[in-house]
Every structure is written in C-alpha cells, then in structure tokens.
C-alpha cells in the first residue's frame, strides 16, 4: 500500500480511482466492509483503490481537550487498513481550514482533480465538509456533475445495534473487552514501548512485568485482564494490570504486562497487548504476600481463559469481493 500525506504526491499519477473516505478509528467490521467493497469495485473496473483519511482525528481539532481517547493511533489505523488490501492511503492533515471547506470544494479539489474519482463508497451516515452538508444526496448530485458513482452501505448491525467506534469505545471503557471483539473483528489492542518501571515485579513479587509507554489511545477500565502479548510476530499468553498500583500508593495510570513463562529482556521493544477478558478490578491489598497470592491466582485463571478456543487470536482479515 502506498501512503501519501498530500494530494500533490498523487496528482496526475492515478488514471481513475475508487475511493472510500472516513476516520476509520478502530477499523471495525463496518469499516472493513467499506474497505472490502471499495477494493472489489476497483478490481472489477480496473481502478486504483484509495482510502482517504485524516490525521489528526477531526474530533481532536474540533473538540480540543474534550475529544475522546481513540481506539487506534494513526500508525495502527494505517497498518490495519493495509491488511484489507487498498492500493493507496491518502492521509490528509485535518485543520480548521479543512473543516471550513464546502463539500463541493473538497470533492472537486481532492477527489475529482486529485484522484480522478470514478466510484465513491461511503458509510450509511457519512457526511463531509462545512456543516457536514456533504451527505449522500449532495454527493450523488456532484457525481452526476463530475461523472462518478456513489454507493452508500447500510449499517452493520450486531447485537441489535449499529457497529460504531463510539459503541466499541464505551465497551472498552467499561471493561467489556470480550464484547468488543466481534465488533472489531479482533481483540482490542494497545501498543507501546517497553520502558523501565518500579522494579517490583520480579524482585518483590516474583512476577516480572513489562511496563508500556503508550500515548494517545484508550485504555480499558482499570483492572486485571487476560491478554495476548504480541512481540516480533510471537503471540504470548499474559496477564495485564491497568491501574495505579494502590497497594504501593502509586499515582498515575500504568499498563503492566506479565508474560507467562518468559524470561527475555525486551526493554525498548514495541509490545502489542490484546485484551481478551477482564479478570477483576484493581484493589489495595493488606500485604505484599496477599498481593503475590492473588497475582498467582490471576495468572492461573488467565491460562485457563487463554487456552479456550474462543480466546485464540484469529488469522488476518480476508478480502471479500462483496461487489461481485
């Protein structure tokens, strides 16, 4: 997948494109259906499949500090998008100036003149441009003017409700990571670099932990979780603690991971943490021995959960020719 950061990088290089556009936070199953259809339509018509997205997320610019934490970083988002097979990702810098663009101007400048748009695929509730006026009806009229088709997908319904980034975010924030899995098509994952911690895991508790430096993404509700640790292509059973270690009087939210039966030094490496199931809430223990005993129980329960068939990491996404 080619990744471009400005439209000028692609101008005059694409003879015809099939485009989908959106924020794609989490790249959930609804997003995946958009990507699959876009790629299938492009292959069928001999077009270049293009995903247009934004960095930073528009809510960061429009809402400032009130913006919610997001399910994925830009890097994660692009890596997940790439797995679904588009030829090109155009990552446009989102600014207040871009937010003020009329939808007609955005379509003309970026999609028609920049990408030679022939087909546009949008979600059921998509709207672009100033005042979100660029809805399906307006885009269809612009399609007639500029000679491109517009297809709008129906919402994906699971459990009686629409799959959305907001719904998944609510599940993760409440600790229901297991219920978020079918909506994402995978376990919710946080990535971070392994950094020095308080040096208590192995020396004091007998359970060495990797402390992750993470930024800009959502963490699940504080507590202890059965997780998969992803390291250089390995998928390793682990338990993770999200919290501030009240037994030791610490402050500030941390993410610590104990990888089972693992003794290698991984400082400085990137670790992915896929949250499978919440085991318990975080609490203050009356003694170090009581904490050690409970961690031992957590590890045992984590082993049992991760050994189940339902908890296995699924293979990579498949490209489905939904348009054929």
**Residues with catalytic function:** 256
β 210-213/188-195 pair status: antiparallel
The phi-psi region of residue 312 (left if phi > 0; otherwise alpha if psi is between -120 and 50; otherwise beta) is beta
- What gap in Å lies between CA 306 and CA 228, rounded to an integer? 8
Residue 273, classified by CB atoms within 10 Å of its CB into exposed (0-12), middle (13-18) or buried (19+), is buried
Cβ neighbours, 10 Å, residue 150: 18
- Run of H or E including 138: helix 136-146
- Buried/exposed code over 63-77 (b: 16+ C-beta within 10 A; e: otherwise): eeeeebebbbbbebb
Q: What string of DSSP letters covers 87-102? A: SEEEEEEP-HHHHTS-
C-alpha dist (Å) from residue 123 to 76, 156, 167, 184, 289:
21, 10, 16, 16, 53
Question: Which residue bears the tokens 């930073």?
Answer: 56
Residue 62: strand, helix, or coil = helix
121 DSSP 8-state letter: E
Q: What string of DSSP letters covers 280-295? A: E-----SSHHHHHHHH
66 DSSP 8-state letter: G
- What gap in Å lies between CA 307 and CA 321, rounded to an integer? 33
Rounded to the nearest 10 degrees, the angle between the axes of helix 29-45 and helix 177-184 is 10
- What gap in Å lies between CA 71 and CA 216, rounded to an integer? 9
303 DSSP 8-state letter: H
6 DSSP 8-state letter: S
């Amino acid at each position: 997948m080619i990744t471009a950061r400005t439209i000028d990088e692609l101008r005059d290089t694409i003879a015809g494109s099939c485009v989908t556009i959106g924020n794609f936070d989490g790249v959930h199953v609804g997003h995946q259906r958009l990507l699959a259809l876009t790629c299938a339509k492009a292959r069928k018509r001999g077009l270049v499949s293009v995903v247009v997205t934004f960095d930073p997320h528009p809510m960061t610019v429009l809402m400032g500090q009130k913006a919610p934490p997001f399910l994925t970083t830009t890097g994660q988002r692009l890596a997940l998008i790439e797995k679904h097979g588009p030829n090109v990702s155009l990552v446009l810098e989102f600014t207040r100036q871009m937010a003020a663009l009329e939808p007609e101007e955005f379509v003309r400048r970026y999609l028609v003149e920049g990408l030679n748009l022939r087909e546009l695929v949008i979600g059921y509730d998509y709207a672009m441009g100033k005042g979100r006026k660029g809805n399906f009806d307006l885009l269809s009229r612009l399609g007639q003017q500029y000679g491109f088709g517009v297809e709008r997908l129906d919402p994906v319904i699971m459990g009686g409700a629409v799959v959305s980034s907001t719904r998944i975010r609510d599940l993760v924030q409440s600790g229901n990571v297991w219920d978020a899995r079918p909506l994402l098509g995978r376990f919710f994952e946080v990535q971070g670099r392994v950094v020095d911690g308080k040096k208590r895991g192995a020396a004091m508790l007998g359970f060495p932990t990797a402390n992750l430096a993470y930024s800009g993404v959502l963490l699940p509700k504080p507590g202890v979780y059965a997780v998969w640790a992803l390291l250089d292509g390995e998928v390793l059973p682990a338990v993770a603690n999200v919290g501030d270690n009240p037994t030791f009087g610490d402050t500030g939210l941390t993410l610590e991971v104990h990888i089972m039966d693992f003794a290698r030094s991984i400082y400085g490496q990137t670790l992915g943490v896929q949250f499978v199931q919440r085991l318990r809430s975080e609490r203050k223990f009356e003694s170090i021995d009581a904490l050690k005993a409970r961690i031992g129980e957590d590890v045992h329960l984590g082993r049992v959960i991760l050994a189940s068939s339902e908890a296995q990491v699924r293979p990579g996404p498949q490209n489905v020719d939904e348009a054929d």
